[in-house]
Structure 1
Amino acid sequence: MPDAVIITRPRAQAGALAQQVAALGREVVLLPLLEISPLPDQSELTAQLAQLARYAMVAFVSPNAIDAAFAHIAHWPRAVTLAVLGEGSRAALARHGLDDGNARIVSPRDPARSDSENLLQSLDLTALAGKEVLIVRGESGRELMADGLRAAGAIVTTVAAYRRRVPAMSPALRTQLAGLLEGENDWIITSSEALRGLRSLVGELGSPDAVVKMQQQHLIVPHARIAETAAALGLTRLTLCGSGDERLLAALQSRP
């Protein structure tokens, strides 16, 4: 049995999963690989959210985008479609009172490919031609969704709702990371950006052995794009489980 389960989500989103993993009898270690913070100037975000009813659809790129936006939303216009990338985002919407019973929510059909490409394939792009669409995202990110919607004739506005960054190396993080690499752990990785950040942090440890030890760890990832990032980084011991905490937990339980 592996030593521990390393949960690498932002700290604010890790609690519920950590409790469920602990209930399985596994040791849990929180290692947030992305730090999420509000924008210093939120005027553009609040301005866009004040006129939600003008949009045919609002797309949220992550649970972070949902949580940041709904801090400024009192009521969701029923006629406006919500587009999200996975079960984590659906759960975030549910925390804010929205589900399939009271809102039209669209997400990728394939839970193993909860990304922009498959969200675009799940949308009725013809119906969005000539309509206004808002994308709520972080300060930086891929343009694929916006480009795909524009190519279909939609009028797209993007707005930043938060900023994210990989934590800087500190003495405490150095000690924690080096210690984790000494064991055989299961690492839950839910973001390609977080995975690239992890690889960079391991490189900062300054030991070739650290990179080799990281490549020997077992990753559990919910999306095929994260699996592709892992393979590109030489991390080949992984389980692709599909989107949602239930699938992450099932993957853990299936480990020998």
Structure 2
Amino acid sequence: MPEPLVVITRPRAQAEPLARSVAALGREVVVLPLLEISPLPDQRALAAVLAGLPAYALVAFVSPNAIDAAFAHLAGWPAGVALAVLGEGSRAALARHGVTDHNARILCPADPARSDSENLLGSIDLAALAGKKVLIVRGESGRELMADGLRAAGAEVHTVAAYRRSTPPLSAELGAALRRLLAAPNDWIITSSEALRGLAALARQAEPVDGVAKLLQQHLIVPHARIAETARALGLTKLTLTGSGDARLLAALQS
């Protein structure tokens, strides 16, 4: 019996490096982007905020997309400004732009299985941020939990949108791909709750009669507890929770 396909649902640019690593394990991989990331049509506000980075005590990035969009406007990182990120994917994105623990202070959740805003806040000395400026770089929409937690600690919180994200519409090509992938159990790497909700909606559209039933038979590999919670809320119980970082995702495929 052939091994299940490995389906990677990240935006295409972020999916390709992981796809090469999966293929190197000898597994057949399919890239099926379930989130589309696009630049803001007007980036003047983003550029203006980033020009004032030295005024902030801390800058928090909600995703690798936020990092890549911001660094398109930056020649380097200002000394003395700490960064906060949610997981290993964001650390890797910072490293691609030359920012590492060797030249900057990078804060992240202590538990790699819970790379979310709650645990990031728990890893930050919030009292030290009272009265200081903090910037959150994110998509056009997002949870307010991080901003609310920082404000409750007395920080002066600013947010700026750096990119736009959306679930792709059900085209004929995407519908055909989904029906093929749902026809048998496969391994799906899901690194976003939004992408998972989009997958559930697209499965219903692609196969109105039994798309959801077929989705329930799929094995999901997820890096964060919050995505696992989203899966269970959708009735998806065939789950492997790995913790943050591609190395853990790959290890789960090998086990």
Q: What is the TM-score of this pair, normalised by structure 2?
A: 0.98
Aligned to 2:102: 101
Task: List aligned pairs for 1:122-201, cutoff 5 A.
Answer: 122-201=123-202
Which whole-Å CA distance do the structure 1 matches of 2:111 and 2:139 have between them?
Answer: 24
Once the 2 structures are TM-superposed, how far is the Cα of residue 18 of structure 1 from its aligned partner?
Answer: 0.4
Which whole-Å CA distance do the structure 1 matches of 2:223 and 2:124 have between them?
Answer: 21
* Runs of 5+ consecutive residues of structure 1 not aligned to the other structure: none
Once the 2 structures are TM-superposed, how far is the Cα of residue 88 of structure 1 from its aligned partner?
Answer: 0.2
Once the 2 structures are TM-superposed, how far is the Cα of residue 184 of structure 1 from its aligned partner?
Answer: 1.7
Which whole-Å CA distance do the structure 2 matches of 1:208 and 1:233 have between them?
Answer: 17
Is 2:46 the counterpart of 1:45? Answer: yes
Matched-pair contact (CA < 8 Å) for 1:78–1:103 = yes
| RMSD, aligned CA | 0.7
Matched-pair contact (CA < 8 Å) for 2:224–2:243 = yes
Which whole-Å CA distance do the structure 1 matches of 2:43 and 2:32 have between them?
Answer: 28
Once the 2 structures are TM-superposed, how far is the Cα of residue 208 of structure 1 from its aligned partner?
Answer: 2.8
Which whole-Å CA distance do the structure 2 matches of 1:28 and 1:249 have between them?
Answer: 12
SS of 1:36's partner is strand
Aligned to 2:15: 14
The runs of at least 4 aligned residues of structure 1 exceeding 6 Å deviation read none
Which whole-Å CA distance do the structure 2 matches of 1:125 and 1:246 have between them?
Answer: 30
Q: Write the deviation string for residues 34-91 of structure 1: whole angstroms up to 9, x where unpaired.
A: 0000000111100000010000000000000000000001121120000000000000
Residues matched between the structures, number: 254
SS of 1:135's partner is strand
Q: Structure 1 residues 2, 210: closer, same or farther in 2, change over 3 A?
A: farther
Is 2:255 the counterpart of 1:241? Answer: no
Aligned to 1:68: 69
Which whole-Å CA distance do the structure 1 matches of 2:74 and 2:183 have between them?
Answer: 46
Which whole-Å CA distance do the structure 1 matches of 2:142 and 2:194 have between them?
Answer: 10
Matched-pair contact (CA < 8 Å) for 1:58–1:80 = yes
Which whole-Å CA distance do the structure 2 matches of 1:192 and 1:118 have between them?
Answer: 17
Which whole-Å CA distance do the structure 2 matches of 1:82 and 1:132 have between them?
Answer: 13
Which whole-Å CA distance do the structure 1 matches of 2:187 and 2:38 have between them?
Answer: 27
SS of 2:210's partner is helix
Q: Write the deviation string for residues 215-254 of structure 1: whole angstroms up to 9, x where unpaired.
A: 0100000000000000000100010000000000000000
Q: What is the TM-score of this pair, normalised by structure 1?
A: 0.98
* Runs of 5+ consecutive residues of structure 2 not aligned to the other structure: none
Percent identical across equivalent pairs? Answer: 74
Aligned to 1:26: 27
**Structure 1 counterpart of 2:120, which letter?**
L
Once the 2 structures are TM-superposed, how far is the Cα of residue 15 of structure 1 from its aligned partner?
Answer: 1.1
**Structure 2 counterpart of 1:127, which letter?**
A
Matched-pair contact (CA < 8 Å) for 1:241–1:251 = yes
**Structure 2 counterpart of 1:77, which letter?**
P
Which whole-Å CA distance do the structure 1 matches of 2:124 and 2:4 have between them?
Answer: 42
Q: Write the deviation string for residues 174-197 of structure 1: whole angstroms up to 9, x where unpaired.
A: 000000001221000000000000
Aligned to 1:117: 118
Matched-pair contact (CA < 8 Å) for 1:56–1:132 = yes
**Structure 2 counterpart of 1:250, which letter?**
A
**Structure 1 counterpart of 2:11, which letter?**
P
Which whole-Å CA distance do the structure 1 matches of 2:178 and 2:3 have between them?
Answer: 16
Matched-pair contact (CA < 8 Å) for 2:179–2:207 = no
